Amino acid sequence: MFFASRGAKVVVNDLGGAVTGQGGSSKAADKVVDEIKAKGGVAVANYDSVEFGDKIIKTAMDNFGRVDILINNAGILRDISFQKMKQEDWDIILKVHLTGTYSCSRAAWNIMREQGYGRIINTASAAGLFGSFGQVNYSAAKLGIHGFTMALAKEGQKKNILVNTIAPLAASRMLETVMPPDVLANLKPSLVAPLVAYLSHDSCKENGSVFEIGGGYCTKLRWQRAEVIFIFMTGSFL
C-alpha cells in the first residue's frame, strides 16, 4: 500500500498458503490488489511460489516493462526443536526463505543491471541475528539471507544496484500464530514501511547493511571485531 500510494506500480505476490507452507489461494494477493486499486493505485497479483522467481519477475515485465525495486519478504514457519526436526522441516524453510530470495533476485538481476538501477530489500529476522529456540531451520535461513545480501551488495554497487536487509517485527499472518493480539496491535507494518521506502529510494546510499525494526524502534546493526588478543605459549607439543 505504501509504495502504491506514492505512484509505484506494484506486483503483489502471495502464494496464499498456510503459515507452514501447505496449500495455496489467490485471496491474499487479490485482497491487497483490490485495496490498492480502490485507492487509485496500480497493481497486479501473482500467485507463484518464490522458488519460481522468474515467473514473478515476468509478471512485472509483462505488465510494467521494468523492475526497479524488489522486496523479498516471503516466509513460512516450521517451528520445532532440533531433536524432533525432520528433513522436510529443514528443507522447506530454506527453500522458501533462502532459495526464494535467491530465485527472485536472480530473475531480476540482469534486468536491473541493464537499467543501471535497482534496489533489493531482503527480509531477515531477529531469529537469524541472535538465534531462537525451536527455530534452528528458520534462524539459519534468515542469517543466510543477510550473508547473501552482503555478497550481492558488493557485486551490484557498480551498476547502481543496492542491496540491504531488514529484520522486522511486524504483525502478519505468520506472526499471528506466535504472538497475542494485544502485542500485535503495537507492531503495525506501517511502522516498518518508511525504512523500506528509504532503502528503495534513488537517493539512498546504504548498501549491504542490516536494520532491526519494529514497533517504532529502528537500529542499524554491524559486526565488529574485538581487539586482538595475543596468546604466547612456550614448551613443546607432543
CATH number assigned to the domain comprising residue 118: 3.40.50.720
Sheet architecture: strand order including 210-214: 69-72, 118-123, 161-168, 210-214, 217-221
Residue 227: per-residue pLDDT: 79
Q: Would you name the residues annotated as active-site residues? A: 138
Asked whether residue 238 is assigned to any structural domain, the reply reads no
Range with the poorest average pLDDT among 10-24, 144-158, 168-182, 198-212 = 168-182
Q: What pLDDT is stored for residue 230 in this prediction?
A: 67
Give the closest residue to 11 by CA, choosing from 78, 58, 52: 58
Q: Is 169 part of a structural domain of the chain?
A: yes
Instruction: Determine, yes or no, domain membership for 230.
Output: no
Q: Which of 67, 42, 43 is nearest to 54 (CA)?
A: 67
In-domain check, residue 228 = no
Q: How far is CA 43 from CA 16, 47, 129, 150, in A?
A: 17, 13, 33, 30
Residue 53 lies in a domain: yes
pLDDT averaged over every residue in the chain: 91
In a domain, 236, yes or no: no
pTM of the model: 0.89
Number of domain units in the chain? 1
104 part of a folded domain? yes
State the residue range of the domain holding 42: 4-221
Residue 123: inside a domain, yes or no? yes
Asked whether the predicted pLDDT for residue 188 surpasses 50, the reply is yes
* Helices 53-64/100-115 angle, 10° precision: 40
With cell 494477493, the residue in question is: 29
CA-CA distance, 90 to 80, in Å (whole number)? 10
